Amino acid sequence: MAFLEFVDVIKEYGAVRVLHGVNLAIEHGEVHALIGENGAGKSTLMKILAGFVAPTSGEVKLESRRLQFSSNTDAERAGIVLIHQEFNLIEDLSIAQNIFLGRELKRGVLLNTQHMNLEAAKALARVGLQLDPRTLVRDLIVPHKQMLEIAKALSRDAKILVMDEPTATLTPVETDVLFEIIAGLKASGVTVVYISHKLDEVKRISDRVSVLRDGHLITTRETASTTQHEMASLMVGRDLEDMYPAKSIPSRKASDVVLELQHFSVPGWAQDIGFGLYRGEILGFGGLVGAGRTELFEALLGLRPRSSGTVLRHGRPIQIHNPRDAAKAGLVYLSEDRKGKGLLVDFLLFQNLTLSNLSSYAKPLLNQNAEQRALEKARDEYGIRTGNLAVAAKMLSGGNQQKLSLAKIMQLEPEVVILDEPTRGVDVGAKREIYFLMSALAAAGKSVIVISSELPELLGVSHRLIVMRQGQIAGVLEAEHLNEQEVIQYATGLKSNLGQHNPVNA
Ligand SMILES: Nc1ncnc2c1ncn2[C@@H]1O[C@H](COP(=O)(O)OP(=O)(O)O)[C@@H](O)[C@H]1O
Ligand SMILES: [Mg+2]
């Protein structure tokens, strides 16, 4: 008999079944990883465990006894604590007030603030934070908020601690602190359920791993005997060999150059950049963080100043002062920070889709039917998955938001599409779909520039790859030179073909 058991758990939201009879057993004192693509049902299953959500049918048993919580407070009393994927902190309260929310320490009828601040400082120290417990949560940086969530959970003396994608917002240093904490918890007999997208983390800290796919529990394996590749294949339900589309190298005659930069410089970020982009080409930009890739393209779009340089479209110089000019010249840019710059997450899907191109839906009044049809078309073409089209963009998973962003910029019918970190925060299945969308754009005669910090994906999709280092082009790789080793050598300065200037072929 397992310590914690899910038995035939079914969850329906309205007519949609999101968990299809999940059976899962978790042993006492193990670190159990739960993986699956966005929307697989991981968070829902754990919210059922922690009393936030009631199952439609089925049950959860702890040491053979059925758990029936009417609220999360009940669950916490029973020692089950969930650290949410979304922050669950109150911004206008202090750190200490958040930690003790709902179970404030009192002296007589008065709050014992001093004691709470002292205890809060101890809780913070446990997660390696040296902060004044009186600090308001709104003044904390995001990784500190995440560590505070963890401190708050630890201060609740959990028997079972569930962490839902805790490292999404953490830096590597904080991630290490967290992993030490998890090891400590395990040593003291706490059972940890760890949800993550990051398979290297799962490999590092879990004893066993369970895979959810489309609301079904696919399998539970010993982590030590499962490779990351196998985990990824189990998540998407097919082998990953076909992750990247086949490449058909475009023609590269001088007349095929659709965009060329000459001696392009961005103060503080890029010096004397020159390259040509061909029709039908996917041109990758690699390099270390801070190499100046994002800044180069922000300057090209007029989003930041440049000091010199010429931009040619089909061989003719053009002036771009802002993204509007760029769009008129057939250039669009999808920024890396999709929530901050790309989508208005509180707005409806169709509003996001048509926002940058409203004039074509106005005749003279906005034609809502046309907008609706455009959204349905985009859903089908870009594989945007959502039960309901009449929702705000924030209701979509990361991958589907990114597909919506792509659909949105394609409304402008560009010839050159510049994508900055297009698959960040996107699950494996959606990544693959985005690669195939990029390939389809290239096949349709568009040109794609892709900036990415994920080397396998850059190598997987690019026809050619420009490696930047410290604001300069360190190397241009193609064919058999498109391999991880060479990219790293150029990115780190071990190898360089700087100084050989040939802008078009560069
Ligand atoms: N409150 C809700 N109302 C309707 N559907 C929901 C709700 N919460 C989650 N879902 C749906 O349930 C499915 C599983 O979601 P979730 O458990 O968040 O997946 P995961 O954590 O694996 O990404 C998704 O299709 C999601 O859209
Ligand atoms: Mg989730």
pTM here is: 0.60
pLDDT above 90 covers a percentage of the chain that reads 59
Over the stretch 89-107, which tens digit does the pLDDT of each residue have?
A: 898 999 999 999 888 888 8
Please compute the mean of the pLDDT values over residues 483-494 and round it to a whole number.
Answer: 85
- Cα torsion 359, 364, 370, 374 to 10°: value is 0
Dist CA 158 CA 39 (whole Å): 27
What are the chain's domains?
4-239 (3.40.50.300), 243-330+414-506 (3.40.50.300)
What is the overall mean pLDDT for the chain? 89
HSE toward the beta carbon, residue 417, CA cutoff 13 A: 28
Q: Which ligand is nearest to the CA of 429?
A: 1
Q: Which helix (H) or strand (E) holds 354?
A: helix 349-354
Which pLDDT score, from 0 to 100, does residue 420 have? Answer: 93
Q: Which atom of ligand 1 is nearest to the CA of 215?
A: 14
Torsion of the alpha carbons at 231, 237, 238 and 240, rounded to the nearest 10: -40
How far is Cα 53 from Cα 45, in angstroms, rounded to an integer?
A: 9
Instruction: Could you list the beta-strand ranges (E) of 358-498.
Output: 416-420, 447-451, 464-469, 472-478
**DSSP states of 139-200:** GS-HHHHHHHHHHHHHTT--SEEEEESGGGG--HHHHHHHHHHHHHHHHTT-EEEEE-S-HH
Question: Which residue has better confidence, 154 or 261?
Answer: 261
- What distance in angstroms lies between residue 76's CA and the mean position of ligand 1's atoms? 22
Please give the Cα distance from 296 to 287 (Å, whole number): 13
Which tens digit of pLDDT belongs to each residue from 281-290? Answer: 999 999 887 8
Indicate which residue's Cα is closest to atom 9 of ligand 1.
44
Measured between alpha carbons, how far is 160 from 49 in angstroms, rounded to an integer? 10
Dihedral (CA of 136, 137, 143, 146) sign: positive
Pairing relationship of beta strands 331-334 and 416-420 according to DSSP bridges: parallel
Tell how far the Cα of 167 is from the centroid of ligand 2, in angstroms. 13
Largest pairwise CA distance in the chain: 84
Closest residue to atom 1 of ligand 1, CA basis: 13
Give the C-alpha separation, 136 to 118, whole Å: 16
pLDDT value of position 16: 81
What does DSSP assign to residue 377? H
